Structure 1
Amino acid sequence: MGVAMASINKKKLADSVIEEIKRMIASGELGEGDKLPNQHEFAAQLGVSRTVLREALQTLAILGVVEQRPKIGTVLLTRAPLAYTEHLSAPLMEDHQATIELIDARRVIEVGAVELAAQNADQEQIRQMGTLIRQMERLLNRGDTDGYIEKNMAFHLLIAESSGNRFMAHLLATIRGFMQRWTVESLTVLPGLDQRSLFLQKEIYQAVLARDPAGAAEAMRRYMNDFLASVKKFYQDQEESSSNRRAQ
């Protein structure tokens, strides 16, 4: 653990922390059964806040990579699930099939997760959802897209966690990197998607707050269907534009 940590990029901080932990494992600095430094020390070494570090460790815990042990701290269990955190090398929006499959995967996982969350979320989790919605709105109004995306990811991961089903939380965590990359790319090329996304996420939150499982599932379904319709229109417009250029 004496080797100096690489500097952490301030963008996509939680993902960067995960990448740094992966690097430490690959280099032999961390092995199975090793205890990570305490959060205050580790966050300082990585150059991030403890909040960012906790988010990264929470994702790794859901994946089964680390475990929080009372009176001991965070322990590395295995490196095997880290393969799921790899990002695609090419932009997702350039891969039509991958984009559609990602939205379909999210729809299957998140519709079920939010239905359970409306039944199982505790009051603190619901309070956190409301806080994230308000933060997303403020960030969007300020034009802070990166901040909005970070809170967007946190909102959806919190819903999965609030479902009370660890397998659902695990499944969503495994595609978190893809979700974040796709959201960044889609908000760049799909005008108005950010405002519609926020509006639909408010509906999701209101249904969870009302303890309405069917309403929450339907709101999430509308959210995913809006993404899908926007993407399909984007691809259709691209194809028509390409056809017109070839015809000239």
Structure 2
Amino acid sequence: MSVEISKLEPIKRVNLTSQVMETVKAYIAENNLRPGDRLPTEKELMLTLGVSRNILREALKSLQALGLIEIKVGDGMYVSDFDYSSVVTHISFALSRTEQQLLHFIEARLIIEVGALDLVVKRAEDHDLQELEELNNRLESTTSVEDAAELDLDFHKALLAIADNPVISEFGNFLGQFFTEARHRVSTDARVHTAKEHKDLIAALKDRDAERAKETMMRHIRTWEEV
């Protein structure tokens, strides 16, 4: 009895570099290694894992780019003090800049910035709100399109910083960068409208009204769907 050839599945190719990366990450986790702890030498890893020097070095460079390890020439390899910005930078290279992608960014930004407002309302101090007001006043008064774009970005960075969560800040700031080019195309009327929405948001934060702040932020971000 014969079996149809179509029922056979192709052999999956194993990416050795990815395997080495996962093995090293598992080693760090299973041994509870902390930032500053030394990792095995390159020679020890080659012998233990049974891979070539090129494969190992490619994996180690990728781990370093992700901010997971630090390679000190002539000294050795160490566990890094994890840097979220390294991961965000790494992700950015894998994303395209199409119109469809912009819509994806808008959706992601809604989730992050609207979701962060519960923490912002809870943790905002008077000096935080004052900083937001100062940035928005500068945005309202500037006549430079470039300055307005940067001030709008700075406003949102300062807002997310109030949440006091580095993961939220890094991902929110990363998403915000993708709107910079679009900001440079907005009209004077749009910038005035942006400043007005910022004022409404600040007022909601002062009143410790998380729901009103969320509604304002949702309206604010969704205007980018029309840009």
TM-score normalised to structure 1 length: 0.53
Q: Give 1:210's match in structure 2, choosing from 197, 207, 224.
A: 207
User: For each residue in 1:38-97, what CA deviation from the matched residue of structure 2 results, as whole angstroms up to 9, or x when unmatched?
Assistant: xxxxxxxxxxxxxxxxxxxxxxx99535xxxxxxxxxxxxx55432455978xx5xx321
What percentage of aligned pairs have identical amino acids?
A: 20
On the 8 A contact 1:120/1:162 being kept in 2, the answer is yes
**1:207 CA drift (Å):** 0.9
> Is 1:104 paired with 2:111?
no
The Cα of 1:181 is off from its aligned counterpart by 2.5
Give the distance between the partners of 1:123 and 1:62, measured in 2 at CA: 31
What is the aligned partner in structure 2 of residue 176 from structure 1?
176
Instruction: Say what the alpha-carbon RMSD is for the aligned residues.
Output: 3.0
Shift of 1:128: 0.5
Separation in 2 of the partners of 1:162 and 1:81?
A: 20
**Aligned counterparts of 2:175 and 2:150: Cα–Cα separation in 1:** 15
SS at match of 1:164: coil
Q: Does 1:193 align with 2:196?
A: no
Mapped partners of 1:81, 1:148: distance in 2: 25
**TM-score, normalised via structure 2 length:** 0.57
Count the aligned residue pairs: 153
- Structure 2 unaligned spans of 5+: 1-63, 73-80
Q: Distance in 2 between matches of 1:166 and 1:62?
A: 11
Instruction: Using the TM superposition, give the Cα deviation of residue 164 of structure 1 relative to its aligned residue in structure 2, in angstroms.
Output: 2.7
Aligned pair in 2 of structure 1 residues 118, 33: CA closer, same or farther (>3 Å)? Answer: farther
Indicate the residue corresponding to 1:83 in structure 2: 90
For 1:195 and 1:87, how far apart are their aligned partners in 2? 34
Relative distance call for 1:171 and 1:88 in structure 2 (3 A) is closer
Find 1:124's aligned residue among 115, 122, 127.
127
Distance in 1 of aligned mates of 2:83 and 2:197: 28
Q: Verify the 8 A CA contact 2:123 2:162 in the aligned structure 1.
A: yes
**Structure 2 CA distance for aligned equivalents of residues 226 and 62 of structure 1:** 35
Q: Give the Å deviation of 1:224.
A: 1.7
Aligned position for 1:138: 141
If you compute each CA radius of gyration, which structure gives the higher value, 1 or 2? 2
Distance 1:62 1:206 in 2: 36
Q: Offset at 1:115? A: 3.2
Q: Given that residues 204 and 216 in structure 1 are in contact (C-alpha distance below 8 angstroms), is that contact kept between their aligned partners in structure 2?
A: yes
